[in-house]
Amino acid sequence: MPIESPRRISLGVSMAGLGYHPAAWRHPETPAGGNMSLDHYIHMARTAERGLFDMLFLADGVGIRNYDEPKGAQQRSAGNVHFEPLTLLSALAMVTRHVGLVATASTTWNEPYHVARKFASLDHISGGRAGWNVVTSHTDMEAQNFGAATLPPKDRRYSRAEEFVEVVRGLWDSWDDDAFLRDQASGQNYFPERRHVLDHEGEHFRVRGPLNVARPPQGHPVIVQAGASDRGRDLAAATADVIYVAAPTLPEAQEFYADVKGRMAAHGRAPEALRIMPGLLAIVGETEAEARAKYERLQSLVDPVVGLAQLAFSMGDLSAYDVDGPVPLLPEWRQSRGQLMYEMAQREGLTIRGLFLAIAAGNGHAQAIGTPAQIADQMQEWFEAGGADGFNLLPAHSPGGLEDFVNLVVPELQRRGLYRTEYEGETLRDRLGLPRPASRY
Amino acid sequence: MPIESPRRISLGVSMAGLGYHPAAWRHPETPAGGNMSLDHYIHMARTAERGLFDMLFLADGVGIRNYDEPKGAQQRSAGNVHFEPLTLLSALAMVTRHVGLVATASTTWNEPYHVARKFASLDHISGGRAGWNVVTSHTDMEAQNFGAATLPPKDRRYSRAEEFVEVVRGLWDSWDDDAFLRDQASGQNYFPERRHVLDHEGEHFRVRGPLNVARPPQGHPVIVQAGASDRGRDLAAATADVIYVAAPTLPEAQEFYADVKGRMAAHGRAPEALRIMPGLLAIVGETEAEARAKYERLQSLVDPVVGLAQLAFSMGDLSAYDVDGPVPLLPEWRQSRGQLMYEMAQREGLTIRGLFLAIAAGNGHAQAIGTPAQIADQMQEWFEAGGADGFNLLPAHSPGGLEDFVNLVVPELQRRGLYRTEYEGETLRDRLGLPRPASRY
């Protein structure tokens, strides 16, 4: 059951890689091989739990997603190898007791039966702490690992995603909560009328069911989404429990927040049934100067070829241009975001180097660099001014960025009454204040 | 590195469900809800590790595979819901240190990139203890969860399986063992010439790679297969590290063993590179009478409708016939095995009830019911007479059947010098005496 309590900030932490900053892996406090070290992830998970976080969040791609462009950039980046999320989170379920476990799985390159099963299983293993971050994938590199040359068009991906989520939810309801009698004496194992065959037939899927896993402890594991497009917002308003969004400024966060919450009524949902959690890259110091120094330290470690690669992902390869000259206007951008980045460089008078350094840390997300009070101020403002229900913390480097936040910012938020002082409830839904979905049957 | 030692019996244990006997779940010592209880599986895993087993083995289907035929049978069976194997074994990796972790994954209803990733990840999580049981699936019920009405024909499934395993192996070699430098000072993360793009294009798959997981600790997780057909034997001789086979008698085991080991030379493999492990349903008692009483206790719990369902799976629905009358000759059998069962009933003069009781316990596998010495005798005979390199223990009921075996039979095997007295080596390959595969590059 959801717990009645004053409205409080929800917190997740992005666990992917060795930190969100592209130079994170080069930071002397970062374990350089941590992306393939179970001990690193155990330490991250336990630190988040010590900080009473709602959830660990594992972004994911089904392939290596950084282009080797300019040539030589890839071998100088850390984001090439890592654990598969569902296996990793199942392991972390055993060394944590409270924190939620959110894994990304693509609806474009998976089958609903597998996804329903694995998340139901993780929910049982973890005692109701599983969440599924629904993505449609966004690179041709992933497509090429699944027999396709290119990513399907966005409309097609979204229509598949909508049906995919519907099928998964239906499969989770295959068994009523009280389906099993398990009476050894009489030999009656379950009540047949409490088992349901889905028999789904849609545009993208035909799935019979039932699922071969009992109904998850949470009814349905928590559904997380991140789409910011018009179609993504509608999908989230209709089906998401949590939205993770990139909003660099409060006005942008407010616009998104009001818009998505406003769309929920049309789907018969109350605004409280959805937690909006923008990404937040926080770098905290005892003093503002210390925090700035931490930031500059990381910035100084940005390899120019890696910086150019970060631009190339959205804009295209700029390595033929003077890195200390102006950002050129290319005939076309690789992603629509390229135009926004070009306009930002124009507006702020940035060179190519200036542009990649400007986006290095947050890369489109909000940044907060300062003392615990300054960071808490920014979070409180967003939380109280209709910009956020919580935040997905993006540690600049891991585990240091998370440790700093837990040691310094969490106590400040608690002093202000904005954050829990102990875990309440049992499941991830309880902690997020979300209702347990009733079965459709 | 493989450990040089006298030839010893390898042991796995089948963890699926609540035991191999169809009445296992009704046994008073069985936790009736254990199939969805993590504690039950933790206890099983730790018991197997206490018994120095090589591996836990999780059979699996991607759907509920027992027909409700005769009507009402399904609700009286326990094999309807259970954990998904890769999530469960990732969790169990954290509460065990030595025992191998073998999960089933179907090549018919999966994509090689996902399978390569998940098993590589489990191998990293467990420190080199992962194994993959390669199956092609065998029911239309599973097909219907993936958009198909029926299972693809066997030839098609096998040709896909062969290519699938080849692609997975290639993906595991994406990164050389020494690919990563991770030099924080210079910014060099890996050596580009030690990263390999698979670029596979075959009849069934186009997969570019590379895998986004470092090379597994074992090089390749252990490959387990179970196919007994001519094509299955060839595939195993070419690629398997372990074979799990149903061989009810020693002559049948010897025929299989000699045939498959004999086929290996044509694939350039030494016979020692493959461990043949027949299934063994063992019921052990301090005295033979006690063992027989345990067996009869389980037999007395067989629900007739569940017994008929077990026959229906291979033969067809016999519920219209007198259960205490003769086994009828049907115009056609559901599976080729139906004819063998009919012939067995003719030969041994069994009624329908007699037939389902006769196959209830072992269901085509070897049985050993007796004292520790009698069971060890049977295992030793098979091991020394060219019938087996080890056994996959099928506990009649869990955890009792496994506990009995570990407490009573393992010490007897150790006394005879046929079984380890402590774990040797680090990885599952070490324990099975199998070499670590070199990279193809």
Please measure the distance between the N-terminal and C-terminal CA atoms of chain B and give it in whole angstroms.
Answer: 20
CB atoms within 10 A of CB B1: 10
pTM for the whole thing?
A: 0.96
Q: Which of B86, B110, B183 sits opposite A87 (nearest CB)?
A: B86
Q: Is the dihedral of CA B123, B126, B132, B137 positive or negative?
A: negative
In this prediction, residues B237-257 reach a mean pLDDT of 95
Phi, psi of B164 (to 5 degrees): -60, -50
Q: Which helix (H) or strand (E) holds A14?
A: strand A10-14
B87·A122 Cβ contact <8 A: yes
In a domain, A351, yes or no: no
Q: Which helix (H) or strand (E) holds A206?
A: strand A206-207
Is the pLDDT assigned to residue A116 strictly greater than 90? yes
Residue from A67, A71, A80, A175 whose CB has the most chain B CBs within 10 Å, to mutate: A80
> Which pLDDT tens digit goes with each residue over A357-395?
998 887 789 999 999 999 999 999 999 999 999 999 999
> Which pLDDT tens digit goes with each residue over A49-80?
999 999 999 999 999 987 788 999 999 998 89
A74·B192 Cβ contact <8 A: yes
> Which pLDDT tens digit goes with each residue over B91-144?
999 999 999 999 999 999 999 999 999 999 999 999 999 999 999 998 999 999
Provide, as residue numbers in chain A, all residues whose Cβ is less than 8 Å from the Cβ of B141. Answer: 208
A207·B88 Cβ contact <8 A: no
> Which pLDDT tens digit goes with each residue over A238-247?
999 999 999 9
A207·B75 Cβ contact <8 A: no
In a domain, A312, yes or no: no
In a domain, A2, yes or no: no
- pLDDT tier at B6, thresholds 50, 70, 90: confident
In a domain, A350, yes or no: no
Q: What does the alpha-carbon distance between residue B153 and residue B158 come to, in Å, rounded to a whole number?
A: 9
In a domain, B187, yes or no: no
* Alpha-carbon gap: A102 to the closest alpha carbon of chain B (Å): 14
Using an 8 Å Cβ cutoff, are B36 and B16 in contact? no
In this prediction, residues B28-42 reach a mean pLDDT of 95
Average confidence score pLDDT of chain A:
95
Domain that holds residue B149: 10-173+199-290+361-432
Provide, as residue numbers in chain B, all residues whose Cβ is less than 8 Å from the Cβ of A88. Answer: 90, 121, 125
Provide, as residue numbers in chain B, all residues whose Cβ is less than 8 Å from the Cβ of A108. Answer: none
B88·A90 Cβ contact <8 A: yes
In a domain, B325, yes or no: no
In this prediction, residues A389-415 reach a mean pLDDT of 98
Instruction: Check residue B69 and give its pLDDT.
Output: 87
Instruction: Check residue A5 and give its pLDDT.
Output: 59
Using an 8 Å Cβ cutoff, are A126 and B38 in contact? no
Beta strand B390-395 pairing with B200-201: unpaired
CB atoms within 10 A of CB B353: 17
CB atoms within 10 A of CB B287: 10
Please tell me the total count of domains within chain A. Answer: 1
Q: What does the alpha-carbon distance between residue A248 and residue A253 come to, in Å, rounded to a whole number?
A: 7
* Alpha-carbon gap: B379 to the closest alpha carbon of chain A (Å): 33
In a domain, A309, yes or no: no
**Domain at A210, CATH number:** 3.20.20.30
In A221-355, DSSP assigns E strands to 222-225, 242-245, 275-284
Work out the burial of residue B99: count CB atoms within 10 Å of its CB; fewer than 13 is exposed, 13-18 middle, 19 or more buried: buried
Using an 8 Å Cβ cutoff, are B180 and B189 in contact? yes
CA distances A33 to A38, A81, A418, B181, B182, Å, are 10, 10, 36, 9, 7
Beta strand B180-183 pairing with A130-135: unpaired
In a domain, B347, yes or no: no
Instruction: Check residue B5 and give its pLDDT.
Output: 59
- Would you say the ipTM is above 0.90? yes
